[in-house]
A and B are shown apart, each in its own frame.
Chain A
């Protein structure tokens, strides 16, 4: 289950961060997302370690905590997407697929002429769409 998704801006500032848990661990998730930026930074700065594909947007598993797995994605405009999941067995394809859809939603949201680039995303439509994507995570591949 996805517990948290986040969009991180250029200055490593959160543009959108949403957790999907019942428990009171939103703050912890914020911490986890923030910490994962260290890994993203390292991957970006040392591209050798991130594998053969240079233009790969998907950063893969960033950071395993005791209960969570954190995945990252870097758009070509250097906006980062972070996904925190509790599933211990996650298929790469699912994550990739998720990020692709998430990216599309993000692109639509920032294409809004009323959105100022670099500011937080406050669009309700975006939030709804993200929540749908989160809900359908893993389902599409199962079918």
Chain B
């Protein structure tokens, strides 16, 4: 598009000539350019010069167009458009200074003559005139002179403009006025011109088609000047159609040049039409128009020697249209994108893409190159054509060329013959670098497609580009492109296309002398699944690239070539004609094939362990399977299998081939296996099974399988697990026989290239000896014994962990808050070393870390057969089962670097139980009943704890029950105060050990009675707690350690009691027994402890077994701080346990009723007087018996 002249590419702009008053020209010019629509100006300082300008412009078109003249020489004049845009103004604006207008007569006359001259010049060309009077001074221009001026100029009054540059307020206004006046005049001019020529077209007042076309063109251009796009388009189209009619009649000589002229004109017309259509947003019409244009001219090849000109022209059409589309799609993008494909059936989205046209432009330029080469070969003296001697230039008509001859001082155009023209064209074309142009075009297309994400189309363009680069010898660019394209074809499995691309790549690397790439591409090509049928059917040598036809035979050729090269045979001769491709001692070749390499087709290694878990030192089976899709059988010299544990690496040598010296030197100290044959047959697994042994525990993974072929060629293939192996690329689409990499199909689906090597078995016993459940509070001892049975122990470590069985929560140090011992219901107190061993004498670096639930103890070095033991001391604070984990880790070898750590784990669940259950019971003395006011209140009685009377004896009965499963030994039971509390009551017995240890068998209960006399009135008197000291009753099997066994103290907190003064105390006095018929005294004492007079009612109920004397019921008053006694004399009438008469005492003041309990009001009546040994039985014994 840039090749076109400026006037063709841009829409025409009206031209206005300014004459006179040059000082104002720039101002007016700028203003007119900024107008909408803009106008160009032609500024002439002197009025006299206008005649020169116009006459010179006239001279070229001196012979006026005479319709009658014989055959027109051409269709369009080359400079016509240019002339109208730059030299022939539509309007001439004459600027006069107002002084001159209104000045003296001489000035006026001069002005008039200037005007006359101007009129004379412009009239024949119909150029419009405008007169501008520049207001130079303040005085007004006389009206008469203005009218006179107007008449002189023969102008309408509106075309006489007064321009006032001095006054800034009027400047804008007058400039606008100028603009609109000029625009109007220019419009009129172009309309008149158009109309004038149009009438000629309509009248058909011409005798040649050329003129018809020319007139149509002119009408269209003048319409364009007026911005009448519709008419412009119509007349351009008319011109174009008329031109097409010429094609049929265009057999006039010279044929080639004639055709060129027609095509050039058609090109210009087409360009105009396309531009107008696209600017109007009519993309579909433009595209359709282009295709019509192309269709009507594509067959016009012309004579054979000039065909290349045709293709060049076609290519240019595509290029220009592509550029037009591109620029227009930028400006009117919104219009081009919507769904147009549906409305117009034959159009698809791709037709709107410039990329498509660029691609075709490149394609036709290639076509041009081919036919140009053909044309060159047809000329015998092609080499002599160099074009330097020629002086051929474009002629005055568009698309014509002429020889420029110098005749004197003038140049004369001499028409060319076709032969001369062809020579000229060929000379021109020889200077032209087609390849660069083609690459540039394809690159634009490539980039455009890439932006559109049309990767396949882009690939095709890229491939064409790469072919050009390859042809030009720019191998780096070619390779870069081809690699990208090959990746796409590989991914999508387009084998035939890939074959072509690889063929080019292979040649690139061959020419660049890069052996590794050459071998890689060759191997990939050889392993491609080129199906035999397509190979035979389609590709013949002419079409295909350097790869040759895609066929099995060609694959075999490539295969042989590669293996001859790598084996160092003379194959290098056939390969390296330009550069040396060698594989030898100096330049060995090492290829790597990873999991995504395309060379997996050439060699695939799969490795499977037969067992997932293998024992150290025990041989395990491993199957190595190799697969190749190369067309011919490959004989491997040697295989090396590499593991992550390098000691397991081994080499497989081919027993059919004698190991070369180089191989044998590299095998020093390696494990070597040999295989009967290492031949890789096409699509057949080579399966090899060997035993390997690993001494080191952990992961054992096969990493590489390295195949050696020939002395200097190795392929390092990453090992793959059969279970997770991907299909072979490309071959997965082929219908081929697929077999498993291993014989065992299960292994083929589940086999892994890695296995876990176990730790060696420990040969050490770890014994946890615990006896029975632990008791809360005691220091429970768990003996741990480590006994070596075959292994020496170095750097042994014992880890101890206590874990909650139920919650699973570990008593980890993190959880343990430092202040709260209570959080640890179970605690590891310590670890005692083996008996008899003093810690200071331990010859080892003793590490001992004890935390509440975790312990770490280091062990001394032990020889085989020795044993070591220690004791764990664990204390339970609450009854709870726990799990004790003990793990031992050690090295069986003194060298820690080489040997493996061995672990032994043991665990034991230990139940923690409470040993004793302590309970208590409060009682009052027998037959004594103090009135406690707090008991009277029914509401408070429920939540109130125990109440004790002040200064009266109360009894606490403490009992301890053995609820464990072992007998216990008790040392003492006492009531002890908490440390900081002072005792505020009298206690009997205060602290008194048992006479000897008391034994308590499981389930038995031990009781002890304490009497308490509270001395302080208090609502919550602290009574302290019951403390019991006990220990396991170790039987005869205990060892001497029983002496060290500590007494365990278990405490039971007594509740706080309420101590209050009782106002009345009722005591019943009665002998301990009675004898039948013997009278005895039964008295009820009522003691008033208050300062008040107490009224007491009492009543006595008769009893059958007794006769009594005394008042049955009465009301008595007890004086303050005194005692009233109700006495009765009673004679028992029946023997045995008898109920005494019931006395009911009611305190009126407190409305409280006393009544003795049944037990308290019962007496045993002997028939006769018994005989007691009265020495040692006191009241106490009887009381305690009664209490039970």
List A residues at the B interface (Cβ < 8 Å).
9, 11-15, 17, 19, 24-28, 30-31, 34-35, 37-39, 42, 48-49, 51, 61-64, 66, 115-116, 118-120, 122
Contacts and interface: CB of A to CB of B under 8 A. Distances in A.
Contacts of A15: 733
B844 interface: no
Contacts of A64: 346, 348, 350-351
Contacts of A34: 456, 459-460, 492, 494, 497
A15 B534 CA distance: 12
B734 to A, nearest CB: 6
A2 to B, nearest CB: 15
A133 to B, nearest CB: 18
Contact of B454 (A9, A12, A38, A51): A38
Interface stretch (B94-102, B179-187, B540-548, B774-782): B540-548
B339 interface: yes
Nearest to A43: B349
B348 A13 contact: no
9 contacts: A12-B492, A14-B495, A26-B496, A28-B543, A30-B494, A34-B492, A42-B454, A49-B339, A66-B363
A25 B540 CA distance: 9
A31 B497 contact: yes
A14 B494 contact: yes
Contacts of A31: 460, 463, 497
B543 A24 contact: yes
Contact of A61 (B348, B463, B735): B348
B537 A26 contact: yes
B1106 interface: no
Nearest to B464: A31
Contacts of B773: none
Given A49-B342, A118-B732, A119-B734, 9 more contacts: A9-B493, A13-B493, A24-B539, A27-B496, A27-B497, A34-B460, A34-B497, A119-B733, A120-B531
A78 B169 CA distance: 75
A122 B529 CA distance: 13
Contacts of B494: 13-14, 30, 34
A76 to B, nearest CB: 21
Contacts of B540: 24
A92 B469 CA distance: 41
A27 B456 contact: no
B345 A116 contact: no
B224 interface: no
A26 B537 CA distance: 9
B1033 interface: no
A15 B543 CA distance: 23
Contacts of A25: 543
B575 interface: no
A19 B538 contact: yes
B482 to A, nearest CB: 14
A30 B463 CA distance: 13
B735 A17 contact: no
A43 B339 CA distance: 12
B537 A63 contact: no
B834 interface: no
Given A25-B543, A26-B543, A61 B345 contact: yes
Among B350, B543, B544, the one with the most A-chain Cβ atoms within 10 Å of its Cβ is: B350
A122 B737 CA distance: 13
Nearest to A34: B456
A9 B733 contact: yes
Contact of B735 (A28, A62, A120): A120
A9 B537 CA distance: 22
A9 to B, nearest CB: 7
Interface string B1134-1157: 000000000000000000000000
Nearest to B337: A49
A84 to B, nearest CB: 14
Interface string B346-364: 1011110000000010010
Task: List 7 tightest A-B contacts by C-beta distance, closest first.
Answer: A26-B538, A13-B493, A24-B543, A38-B454, A12-B492, A38-B456, A35-B457
Nearest to B550: A27
Nearest to A42: B349
Contacts of A116: 735
A13 B733 contact: yes
A116 B733 CA distance: 9
B851 interface: no
B346 A61 contact: yes
Among A11, A15, A34, the one with the most B-chain Cβ atoms within 10 Å of its Cβ is: A34
B341 interface: yes
Contacts of B346: 61, 64
B929 interface: no
A13 B492 contact: yes
Interface string B878-910: 000000000000000000000000000000000
Nearest to B731: A119
Interface in B476-532: 491-497, 500, 531
Contacts of B351: 64
A49 B350 contact: no
B455 interface: yes
Contact of B348 (A12, A24, A62): A62
Contacts of B492: 11-13, 34
B360 A27 contact: no
B497 A30 contact: yes
A35 B489 CA distance: 11
Interface in B691-747: 732-735
A115 B733 CA distance: 12
Contacts of A118: 732-733
Contacts of A14: 493-495, 733
A97 B497 CA distance: 30
Nearest to A118: B733
Contacts of B539: 24, 26-27
Among A25, A35, A42, A64, the one with the most B-chain Cβ atoms within 10 Å of its Cβ is: A35
Contact of B538 (A27, A51, A63, A120): A27
B1182 to A, nearest CB: 104
Interface string B69-103: 00000000000000000000000000000000000
A49 B341 contact: yes
A63 B350 contact: yes
Contacts of B339: 48-49
A115 B734 CA distance: 11
A11 B349 CA distance: 23
Interface string B948-973: 00000000000000000000000000
A120 B497 contact: no
B735 A122 contact: yes
Given A14-B494, A48-B339, A66 B733 contact: no
B341 to A, nearest CB: 7
A9 B494 CA distance: 11
B442 to A, nearest CB: 14
Contacts of B455: 38
Contacts of B543: 24-28
Given A13-B492, A24-B540, A30-B496, A63 B456 contact: no
Contacts of B345: 61
Contacts of A62: 348
Nearest to B538: A26
Among B348, B349, B543, B732, the one with the most A-chain Cβ atoms within 10 Å of its Cβ is: B348
Contacts of A19: 537-538
Nearest to A63: B350
Contacts of B496: 26-27, 30
A38 B488 CA distance: 13
Contacts of B544: 27
Contacts of B495: 14
A115 B735 CA distance: 8
A120 B494 CA distance: 12
B528 to A, nearest CB: 13
Contacts of A24: 538-540, 542-543
Nearest to A65: B360
A6 to B, nearest CB: 10
